[in-house]
Amino acid sequence: MSLTEKQRRFVKAYLIEPNGKKAAIAAGYSPKGAEVQASRMLSQAKVQQALAEARKAVSIEAGITPAMVIAELAKIGFSDIRKVVKWMSDVQKMAFDPDTGEPVLEITNRIVLEDSEGLDEATAGSIAEVSMTKSGTLKVKLYDKRGALNDLAQILGMKTALRAPKAPGVPSPDPQPSPAAPDAPEGGDNGWGQLLN
């Protein structure tokens, strides 16, 4: 497979930032026609093959496997905020309502942040941000669980098997089947329907 110089530069730029227009400009095309050139290049089999080979080489060199990517997405997708923070209500004291004389409880709500050293690897890997506001309040944010689960379902070929069943009398659009996982068994549901039923 031989690529032109522009195709080689396009592939190299596209690997760094997968934006077709920017890669076409980096390859030497004018900004005016870069979008069209990018679309043309990305539709060429030899450019696609070069991109696939280059991605594989990069992942091998970096020691990144598909299983590692799936494991990281699973950490996010199955994360549990309760492993990071605990929230609770504490009864402070029994008091009496000054107007009615009725007994009332004074309750305080509090949040306790877990010590980072006590977090397991999966929980620590699911945390996107820990910050402190100007007022001294701590903020903890996890990565997007839904996005990670969607990515996992797509990678594993589960998208069509996980669709909600059609309600009687309600037309549904034709589902777009997700591509089969590389090692998925043959069949319309990529084999997941058998496991889910």
pLDDT tens sequence across 43-67: 999 999 999 999 889 888 888 888 9
Query: What is the model's pLDDT at position 195?
Result: 47
Q: Which fold has domain 5-64?
A: Arc Repressor Mutant, subunit A (1.10.10)
DSSP string across 47-115 = HHHHHHHHHHHHHHHHT--HHHHHHHHHHHHT--GGGTEEEEEEEEEEEE-TTT--EEEEEEEEEEEPP
Q: Residue 36 in 3-state DSSP?
A: helix
Instruction: Confirm whether pTM is higher than 0.85.
Output: no
| Domains of the chain, residue spans | 5-64, 81-145
| CA geometry: angle 109, 111, 117, nearest 5 deg | 160
For the chain, which ranges sit under pLDDT 50? 175, 177-188, 192-197
Conformation bin of residue 136: beta by default, left when phi > 0, alpha when psi is -120 to 50: left
pLDDT tens sequence across 160-185: 655 666 666 655 555 454 444 444 44
